[in-house]
């Protein structure tokens, strides 16, 4: 029988670590995908995924059951990714990669992407400022409510709206330039 | 693009998301009815939003090891197994030498039980001393 997230969280809070393993198995692809979309690199996304699950485990007592576990976990993942990017060494590495304007690690990319168009979109996403990109991904890709995105990024809703507008307009313009 | 399109662009985005008040929503709807450029921009934004929503969920790499590995465990298990070998061998030898089936048959059940207990005590003490020495 498939247990719902709330039950698994409750079991985990009672000391059942297998319940958390089930949650990890359930969300690892989504967490990895979001991290990869924000960070643009598979190894960095994997590190962020592990960090996100570790934080989720240690902060589980702080989780508010009023909101879905997936929302809480994905917002936490977004914050982990943004913090990772604030690390200066990491930031420089990412900037170098973005400057090359080609997706890194082709063998990994080949596995991760099915279509060139998606690859282009991911590459263009990486040109957006990190916070703007994260807002775009949380709102459009993960389809989180505006209020949740604002809370995750610790900014007012108006700021998120502006980021979404600028992000979408930038992507529209770049896609037009690339695809004609 | 008409002159007021640029000033309306930000509102147009909020319109697309349904964030506007009813009055402004109506104003933008009226503007859109007569503005081909804004209609095209709205379509392009929708396409961007759709493309983002349709990005595939990527499979996470297989976990190397979820459970932390205690590197001391195999070594401990090996040492324990080795430590157990000698006492067990000694006990088997001692037991086989003292084994006298006819005598056992002549003994009362209580006495045989008593002898067995005494031997068991010796074995446990021997084992304990050996394990403390080795581990």
pLDDT at position A93: 62
**Domain ranges, residue B34:** 5-53
pLDDT class for B65, splitting at 50, 70, 90?
very low
B44 with B78, same domain: the answer is no
Q: Is B60 within the bounds of a domain?
A: no
Chain A hits for B60, Cβ within 8 Å: 28-29, 31-33, 46, 49
Q: Is B129 within the bounds of a domain?
A: yes
Number of structural domains in chain B = 2
B31 with B76, same domain: the answer is no
B47 with B101, same domain: the answer is no
pLDDT at position A101: 47
Residue of A nearest to B43 (CA): A172
Largest CA distance in chain A: 57
Asked if the model's pLDDT at residue B91 lies above 90, the reply is no
Q: Is B58 within the bounds of a domain?
A: no
Q: Is B40 within the bounds of a domain?
A: yes
Q: Is B92 within the bounds of a domain?
A: yes
From residue A32, give the alpha-carbon distance in Å to each of A43, A107, B74, B116: 10, 18, 33, 63
Question: ipTM score of the complex?
Answer: 0.75
Q: Say yes or no for a CB contact (<8 Å) between B55 and A141.
A: yes
Residue of B nearest to A54 (CA): B66
Q: Say yes or no for a CB contact (<8 Å) between A32 and B19.
A: no
pLDDT at position A87: 66
For A108-129, how does the pLDDT look when each residue is reduced to its tens digit (9 = 90+)? 444 444 467 778 888 899 999 9
Q: Rounded to an integer, what distance in angstroms lies between the CA atom of residue A69 and that of residue A27?
A: 10
Stated as kind and residue range, the H or E segment containing B56 is none
pTM beyond 0.80, yes or no = no
Q: Rounded to an integer, what distance in angstroms lies between the CA atom of residue A92 and that of residue A112?
A: 24
B96 with B127, same domain: the answer is yes
Instruction: Select the highest-mean-pLDDT range: A158-172, B9-23, B47-61.
Output: A158-172
Q: Is B61 within the bounds of a domain?
A: no
From residue A180, give the alpha-carbon distance in Å to each of A29, A146, A158, A168: 33, 32, 32, 17
What is the set of domains in chain A, with CATH numbers?
A: 5-179 (1.10.1740.10)
Cα distance from B11 to chain A (closest Cα, Å)? Answer: 10
Mean pLDDT (whole number) for B19-45: 89
Q: Rounded to an integer, what distance in angstroms lies between the CA atom of residue B19 and that of residue B28?
A: 12
B38 with B86, same domain: the answer is no
B32 with B80, same domain: the answer is no
Chain A hits for B14, Cβ within 8 Å: 161, 165
Residue-wise DSSP of A21-43: HHHHHHHHHHHHHHHHHHH--HH
B44 with B85, same domain: the answer is no
* List of chain A residues with pLDDT < 70: 1, 87-115, 180
């Amino acid at each position: 029988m498939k247990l719902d997230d709330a039950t698994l969280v409750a079991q985990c809070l009672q000391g059942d670590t297998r319940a958390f393993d089930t949650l990890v198995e359930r969300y690892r692809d989504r967490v990895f995908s979001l991290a990869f979309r924000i960070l643009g690199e598979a190894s960095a996304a994997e590190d962020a995924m592990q960090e996100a699950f570790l934080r989720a485990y240690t902060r589980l007592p702080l989780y508010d059951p009023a909101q879905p576990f997936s929302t809480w976990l994905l917002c936490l993942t977004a914050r982990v990714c943004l913090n990772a990017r604030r690390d200066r060494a990491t930031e420089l590495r990412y900037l170098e990669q973005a400057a090359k304007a080609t997706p890194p690690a082709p063998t990994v990319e080949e596995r991760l992407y099915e279509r060139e168009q998606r690859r282009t979109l991911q590459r263009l996403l990486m040109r957006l400022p990190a916070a703007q990109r994260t807002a775009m991904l949380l709102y459009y890709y993960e389809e989180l409510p505006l209020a949740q995105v604002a809370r995750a990024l610790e900014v007012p809703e108006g700021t998120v709206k502006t980021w979404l507008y600028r992000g979408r307009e930038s992507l529209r313009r770049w896609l037009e330039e690339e695809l004609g | 693009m008409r002159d007021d399109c640029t000033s309306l662009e930000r509102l147009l985005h909020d319109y697309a998301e349904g964030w506007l008040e009813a009055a402004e929503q109506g104003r933008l709807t009226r503007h859109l009815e007569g503005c081909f450029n804004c209609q095209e921009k709205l379509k392009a934004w929708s396409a961007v939003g759709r493309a983002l929503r349709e990005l595939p969920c990527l499979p996470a790499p297989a976990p190397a090891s979820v459970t932390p590995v205690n590197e001391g465990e195999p070594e401990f298990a090996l040492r324990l197994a080795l430590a157990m070998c000698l006492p067990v061998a000694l006990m088997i030898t001692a037991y086989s030498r003292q084994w006298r089936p006819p005598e056992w048959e002549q003994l009362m059940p209580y006495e045989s039980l008593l002898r067995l207990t005494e031997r068991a005590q010796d074995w446990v003490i021997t084992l304990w001393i050996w394990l403390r020495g080795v581990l």
